[in-house]
Amino acid sequence: MKLLKELGIIVVSVALGLGVGAIITAATGYSVPAVFRELVRGAFSDMYRVAQTLTQATPILFTSLSFLIAFRAGLFNIGAEGQLFLGGFFAAWAGFTLSLPPVLHIVVCLFFGAAAGAVWGFIPGWLRARRGANEFVTTMMLSYVAIYLTSWLVSPGGPYHGHQWANQTARILSTAELPRMITGTQLSWGIVVGGLVALLLWYFLFRMPRGYELRAVGQNPLAAEYGGVDVAPTQILAMVLAGALAGLGGASEILGTHRRFIEGFSPGYGWDGIAGGLIARAHPIGAVFAALLMGALRAGGSAIDRAGVAPSDLAAVFQGLVILFVVAPELIRYLKRVRRRRRVHGRPEP
């Protein structure tokens, strides 16, 4: 029952966001039915497009998990984008430098990506827990640092500039490639890794004592402290995990989709993770569905552009509106109250 109620709120919030999105679409002179038709068609109409939606959803799943694990501990990881870039670079580095047997190589590369992200989560986590520095500012700042750093590594003059005309590294060895799930598409087994990680995270948060402690710190740090939880190490752990998850997302994207580190390879998957984590109401299993929704918006967005119906960035506007409504569950309760009051007073419904 509680689950149904939560789901109802999310569905209404998404509908409200898309509704306001439709108004903006009409106001800027585009055809609302055409936009929504192409959005759905571009995301789901055939196997290739479904694969494209899933491909886009994969990194978003990881960054959604990254956002929500920090959020569960009462912290805000706004810097998943930078952690994703660092994770992607170090996975690629391990991919073209080390030579290992096939499956092991992939695991090692994923580990390198997660570790790089974890370091980038540890710094703001430590600064927050030990020095009181707002993690929403420091994660954002460190995100810029990571993006410029990886960009320098592959730019002309940088140590890993692997191509004459594009800022990217050399290709990873074939042993490090995450294989494609469907040939002819970009969809890799990264999405399965993501699903497994989501399950693991659910188990950690809701079935393990450390996960319970982490949630307790998020609910009320003082009460948790009184109950015997070490708040500072728990906060640091949450940020390290958040960084590792985003780093893993970058690694899976590089090993599965691009097979080399490319400057600016993420069109904003880190930011999508904030939206995904919020739409999922910080639940790891919910994040799978939220990531699918975000992935569909990205895939459908490119489709409305290709079809010449409207610019692809209209989908980003929809995303922003959806989460603006998702973060205010009280709005729906408020609208309901107003309706009930009207009914009681016998006034006609609007």
Partner 1 sequence: MDVLSLDIMVAALRLAMPIALVALGETFSERSGIINIGVEGTALAGALIGATVAFFSGSSVVGLCAALGVGMLLGLIHAVWCVYLRADHVVTGAAINLLVIGLALFLTRVVWGWRGTSAAVPTLNPWILVWGMVGLIVLAQVYLFRTPWGLRLRVVGEHPQAADTAGINVFRTRVAYSVLNGALCGLAGAFLVNNLGRFSVGMVGGRGFIGIAAMVVGNYRPIPAFLAAYLFGFVDALQMRLQDVIPSHFSIMLPYVLTVVVLAGFLGRAHVPAALGKPYIKDQG
Q: Which residues bind partner 1 (CB under 8 A)?
A: 28, 76, 78, 123-124, 127, 131-134, 136-138, 140-142, 144-145, 148-149, 151-152, 155, 157-158, 268, 271, 274-275, 278, 311, 313-321, 323-324, 326-331, 334
Specify the amino acid at residue 198: A
- The alpha carbon dihedral of 21, 25, 31, 37 has a sign of negative
CB 88 within 8 A of CB 250: yes
* 8 A C-beta contact, residue 155 and residue 148: no
Q: Which is nearer to partner 1, 172 or 265 (CB)?
A: 265
**Least distance (Å) from partner 1 to the CB of residue 202?**
21
Closer to partner 1 at the Cβ: 25 or 52? 25
The distance of Cα 252 from the centroid of its chain, to the nearest Å, equals 13
| Closest distance to partner 1 from the beta carbon of 229 (Å) | 21
The CB-of-196 to partner 1 minimum distance in angstroms stands at 28
In the structure encoding, which two tokens stand for residue 330, read together? 């009280």
Q: How far is the CB of 207 from partner 1 (least distance, A)?
A: 26
Q: Which run of H or E residues covers position 139?
A: helix 135-154
Distances (CA, A) of 311 to 268, 281, 316: 17, 29, 10
Structure tokens at 50: 């479904």
- For residue 63, the Cα-to-chain-centroid distance in whole angstroms is 3
DSSP state of 350: -
The residue count of the chain comes to 350
Minimum CB separation of residue 320 from partner 1 in Å reads 3
Give the residue with the Cβ less far from partner 1, 199 or 335.
335
Nearer to partner 1, 176 or 310 (CB): 310
Q: Which is nearer to partner 1, 29 or 184 (CB)?
A: 29
Contact yes or no for 59/266 (Cβ under 8 A) = yes
Kindly report the backbone phi and psi dihedral angles of residue 155, in degrees, each rounded to the nearest multiple of 5, phi listed first: -90, 165
Nearer to partner 1, 181 or 331 (CB): 331
Q: Which is nearer to partner 1, 48 or 334 (CB)?
A: 334
Task: Check the CA dihedral 174-178-181-184 and report its sign.
Answer: negative
Nearer to partner 1, 108 or 149 (CB): 149
Alpha helices, H only, 208-328: 209-219, 221-226, 231-253, 269-279, 284-306, 314-326
CB of 148 vs partner 1, minimal distance in Å: 5
Tell me how far, at minimum, the Cβ of 192 lies from partner 1, in Å: 28
Q: How far is the CB of 12 from partner 1 (least distance, A)?
A: 14
